[in-house]
Structure 1
């Protein structure tokens, strides 16, 4: 009898083992799916999605590392950024910061699906945005986007969409974000040509959110606020300045970095400011837009852009006020902008005045995000300061955060 029992056990043993292995495999797959749902990817998943980071899947290479196109098992297309070596103080907080950033959700922000942190491997997994960057669309003049670019409404939609995205980063997110590198190449366009801000995670991962050091995010100097470029002082008003440059580029169709200096102006911003000051702001309009342009909106956007690009950060409007200006479409009551800031701008007082203004601009945020902008960095104690801030009209922050595209 015992021989028969033993025989039967040996007979069914392979099937039991196979079932156990199947259950174990199912359990591992469920754990993998659960991890992805929580924004945590393993290295093997990303290697499989990108065909082992094949050169054929490479979308490009930025300041922070290469980006690869990939497809997850659930069918989602993703853009996987392999990060270069993080500063040691940033590595310790990478997971916590990445998890916070993955919770950001807005139609004008590229979604961060999650991250991977395995040994030396650090990756960020973003939604894949099918179209090109705003820089390519605006300045390359490819045939397939030419009709869009030559339409004023499209340019205005870009301005308003980026404004809403920046407002969300500054005030609408649970973790307020200073981008630090707003520029045309960091605005991606989806299938519907909706603008989406990308690379917003870099300021958190490489400096402000993780470190109190003065190391700065790698930024394009033609978009950088003078106080950030020269002294490393980063506040929401630095993003506002960069946005102002972007507005003027969209109106004129010219690159700030490619502007040919003239007798009356050394930069695109100064040229635009001179035209505005002399009542000739329509002359800055891209000639290709003349047949579709709304003169009132062109003047409004030029005025707003120059207010953003003022040398004094205290005089720049915050993003809430800018979205309100673009929503109401009213120029009445807008203050006149002072000369735009630029590298080498001279300031006449003490450094702490500017630092105070940086902290003040953070404190002007909504009550829900009050005190969240405590990551202004200082790189120098050189002497400079600015004039007193102009009064800012009152408005409902909640209304602005929820505001829709003006009709």
Structure 2
């Protein structure tokens, strides 16, 4: 046997055992190559619907979204769509051709570097000083600055946590308070969220949008720095332990919902391309001490140009808030935000979660229950029992019908959010007029409330 293996062959005079060894090695390399192809083959990514963390989980693990039945009750109010004109002049978001949302940073040679290789040049003596972004807005923070502001991203500074990042309370060197969101690099989502917020949201300003102050991009770190809003979020005030009486009066709730609607109007009708938020929910609405709402968390936002009526994307959002047509087809546009807004609207009025499996079967889905209460002419049952002062039945019914129009199964029948603002503000004014009439009648019980002389004698 050894004799045959040592026999010389006609291939360059090599022995047979050498030829066999080379062939075996080549075969082994080929097998390794084929195995690597199998393991690196892309896998399909499932739909991600975030369950509401405070609701009892559904009895099955299915992520199927409940389909809404057609709305039986049509809105009683008739509003001219012409009143829903754009409330804000268009602001154009500049996008580099061929590289949408690509953030570039200046490098030492005076050129630019992509965010993946971003390095902030050091000042003389190696000390990194404050620098203003070349993007024309915001501050470029160093990792060292943000570590110092948050006690090294300490757990005692955590004020919020989501699927893509942890939010810390920070105090900068100038004693200003900030919220620092350290993005988690899950499947590259940190890079996507960073790009969307920095490029699209960073340069827009609205009193009902959480302001993005700046950012940090060092190495693999992607960090966003926001204004600090010190009164928690809407979910905490609606569903948290606030005692037997909620501090959220009807007027405050209407103020919050109108503020959210105005913020969405700005995103949908005041920007070009328009911004579709895709994740409107109570935990993403921050509140200041005056109960002014701030829409936050634009990590899932999409830009929609004037030449497109919708975009098709991977379905992501929170169970109960996702529009049915978006959940079934992946097609999303500004009317998907209107649906989520309608759900949030009913949640704020009722104090109930959009989907709550703790409740009886007919009350699990908030939309179906609200429609039933309106159709049975008992809208007052929808009101949060912790609300002290109640609106009149007529105003409540009209407001609920606005919310129901927002969640119409047919997306084309949903009103534009600017139209919603107009309808809500008219209802708000009706409530003011109604209460003024009640107050005047108490001032002049024996005469006309509009009788100037009588009112003057009474108040003297």
Q: TM-score, normalised by structure 2?
A: 0.59
**Shift in CA distance, 318/259, structure 1 to aligned 2, threshold 3 Å:** farther
Q: Which residue of 2 aligns with 1:351?
A: none
Q: Which residue of 2 aligns with 1:245?
A: 343
Q: CA deviation at 1:35?
A: 4.2
Does the CA contact (< 8 Å) of 1:101 and 1:175 recur in 2?
Answer: no
Q: Which residue of 1 aligns with 2:356?
A: 258
Q: Which residue of 2 aligns with 1:267?
A: 365
Does the CA contact (< 8 Å) of 1:251 and 1:286 recur in 2?
Answer: yes
Aligned residues: 299
Q: TM-score, normalised by structure 1?
A: 0.66
Unpaired segments of 5 or more residues in structure 2? 1-122, 304-310, 431-460
Aligned-partner SS, 2:230: coil
Residues 1:50 and 2:150 are matched in the alignment: yes
CA-atom RMSD in angstroms: 3.1
Alpha-carbon separation, structure 2, partners of 1:24 and 1:87:
38
From 151, 174, 177, the equivalent of 1:74 is: 174
Unpaired segments of 5 or more residues in structure 1? 1-22, 206-211, 333-407
The structure that is helix-richer by fraction is 1
Q: Find the structure with the greater CA-based Rg.
A: 2
Does the CA contact (< 8 Å) of 1:131 and 1:189 recur in 2?
Answer: yes
Query: What are the equivalent positions in structure 2 for 1:170-209 lying under 5 Å apart?
Result: 170-173=268-271, 175-204=273-302
From 140, 146, 154, the equivalent of 1:40 is: 140
Q: What are the superposed Cα offsets for residues 242-291 of structure 1, whole Å, 9 maximum, x if unpaired?
A: 11111111221211222556565652211111222233323322234364
Aligned-partner SS, 1:75: coil
Q: Which residue of 2 aligns with 1:320?
A: 418
Residues 1:114 and 2:223 are matched in the alignment: no
Higher relative contact order at CA 8 Å, sep ≥6: structure 1 or structure 2? 2
Q: CA deviation at 1:115?
A: 1.6
Does the CA contact (< 8 Å) of 1:260 and 1:267 recur in 2?
Answer: no
**Shift in CA distance, 204/68, structure 1 to aligned 2, threshold 3 Å:** farther
Q: What are the superposed Cα offsets for residues 279-333 of structure 1, whole Å, 9 maximum, x if unpaired?
A: 332332223436432433322220011111111111111101100111222999x
The structure that is strand-richer by fraction is 2
**Shift in CA distance, 263/81, structure 1 to aligned 2, threshold 3 Å:** closer
**Shift in CA distance, 331/259, structure 1 to aligned 2, threshold 3 Å:** farther
**Shift in CA distance, 123/89, structure 1 to aligned 2, threshold 3 Å:** closer
Q: Which residue of 2 aligns with 1:125?
A: 225
**Shift in CA distance, 156/93, structure 1 to aligned 2, threshold 3 Å:** closer
Q: Which residue of 2 aligns with 1:235?
A: 333
